[in-house]
């Protein structure tokens, strides 16, 4: 579908869904963002919903400025996936042992590793740059210096909330039944700690005193605060990418233990809470994607639904009106608290039938019914991406 402009904003705000369907809180956030003097434009994805600080599903292009709350506290959160040579026929009738093997290999929830990951001991993991990466920890905001050991032990761990690991089957077409491995995670506690410290700094800067929403406080180019944030931001984004790379390599090793003959395609990885330097309309911009992936022409990306509805591998169409972006998933249609009030364990079991996963009260807030219809979300952004593969999970590991 083509975008619809959101009226009454200083900068253009282009919406890839029915503007009337956007919850009032999120619409107010978008209007506040569009009013900021540094904003060049905003693209609103079809999975849009209210978020802390800035709207989830928003792409904000700024001139010489960036809002740390518009990135969010899970800096670099994103997806990774890889296609395997296995098919559905290779999988056992019961997938509980496979789920247990994954949970035994990759810590989930609040768990962390007893010791830091040694990249040399992870088969198939990219080996370059690890020493330099950890050396740069000492250059981060001094207020996180005591968190280095925790950051090392959390690298290669999933976390909780909407983070997940899945084994999926490709749906339809000549490759129907092909097995994919997929995961969703970010920069763990260290990303959150860095984000919250910089958001606090931004709120206290004089040029942010009269903003319509103090959560949208920005750093300005050429200032020491901006330089400090960008230094920590780039590091946290790399932490998130390496975190997913470690988990994907370990996940591949789990499959290889059961199927020594398995081979893997080229992994796909994409952030959906991050900042990038890009140019549009002949202007150099800082583009913040909070709940959105880059979908430049030819870019491969991943758009998940929920723990019972499947996901999509996509290829970007490079639509400049959307700042070459697409949604990061289905997007929530109700808060976690509302989901717990609305649904129970029996609803969860019914909606995740056929999926080997947790079916207890601890994950009711992640029930498929709490999310928007991923099929409709995909239809609303057919001018942003084309579908490469439709996947359906058969195993889902949650924190």
Pairing of strands 56-62, 283-290: antiparallel
Asked about 207 being catalytic, the answer comes back as: no
Rounded Cα distance, 113 and 153, in Å: 5
Q: Which of 198, 271, 328, 390 is catalytic?
A: 328
Rounded Cα distance, 250 and 348, in Å: 29
- HSE, CB side, 13 Å, CA atoms: give it for residue 342: 14
Rounded Cα distance, 201 and 132, in Å: 27
- Spatial neighbors of 2 by CB under 8 A, at least 6 apart, are 383
- What stretches of the chain adopt beta strand conformation (E)? 4-5, 13-15, 39-49, 56-62, 65-66, 78-87, 164-171, 178-185, 219-220, 268-271, 273-280, 283-290, 292-294, 300-304, 311-316, 325-327, 385-398
Residue pointed to by tokens 């900021």:
36
Rounded Cα distance, 186 and 17, in Å: 27
Active site amino acids: 328
């Amino acid at each position: 579908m083509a975008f619809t402009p959101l009226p009454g904003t200083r900068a253009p705000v282009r919406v890839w869904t029915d503007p009337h369907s956007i919850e009032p809180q999120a619409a107010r956030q978008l209007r506040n963002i569009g009013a900021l003097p540094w904003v060049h434009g905003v693209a609103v994805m079809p999975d849009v919903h209210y978020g802390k600080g800035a709207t989830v599903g928003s792409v904000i292009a700024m001139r010489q400025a960036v809002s740390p709350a518009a990135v969010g506290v899970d800096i670099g959160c994103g997806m990774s996936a890889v296609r395997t040579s296995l098919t559905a026929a290779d999988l056992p009738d019961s997938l509980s042992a496979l789920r247990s093997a994954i949970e035994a290999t990759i810590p989930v929830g609040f768990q962390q590793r007893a010791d830091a990951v040694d990249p040399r001991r992870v088969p198939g993991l990219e080996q370059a740059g690890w020493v330099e990466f950890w050396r740069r920890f000492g250059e981060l905001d001094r207020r996180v210096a005591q968190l280095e050991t925790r950051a090392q032990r959390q690298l290669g761990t999933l976390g909780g909330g909407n983070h997940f690991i899945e084994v999926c089957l490709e749906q339809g077409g000549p490759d129907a039944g092909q097995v994919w491995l997929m995961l969703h995670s970010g920069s763990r506690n260290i990303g959150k700690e860095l984000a919250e410290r910089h958001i606090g700094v931004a709120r206290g800067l004089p040029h942010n005193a009269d903003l319509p929403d103090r959560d949208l406080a920005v750093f300005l180019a050429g200032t020491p605060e901006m330089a400090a944030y960008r230094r920590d931001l780039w590091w946290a984004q790399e932490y998130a990418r390496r975190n997913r790379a470690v988990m994907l390599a370990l996940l591949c090793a789990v499959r290889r233990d059961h199927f020594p003959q398995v081979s893997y395609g080229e992994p796909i990885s994409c952030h959906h809470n991050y900042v990038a330097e890009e140019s549009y309309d002949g202007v150099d911009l800082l583009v913040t994607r909070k709940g959105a992936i880059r979908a430049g022409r030819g870019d491969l990306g991943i758009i998940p639904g929920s723990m019972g509805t499947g996901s999509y591998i996509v290829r970007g169409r490079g639509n400049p009106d959307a700042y070459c972006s697409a949604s990061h998933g289905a997007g929530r249609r109700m808060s976690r608290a509302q989901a717990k009030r609305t649904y129970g364990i029996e609803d969860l079991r019914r909606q995740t039938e056929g999926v080997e996963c947790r079916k207890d009260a601890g994950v009711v807030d992640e029930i498929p019914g709490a999310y928007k219809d991923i099929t409709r979300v995909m239809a609303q952004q057919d001018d942003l991406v084309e579908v490469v593969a439709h996947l359906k999970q058969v195993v889902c590991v949650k924190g």
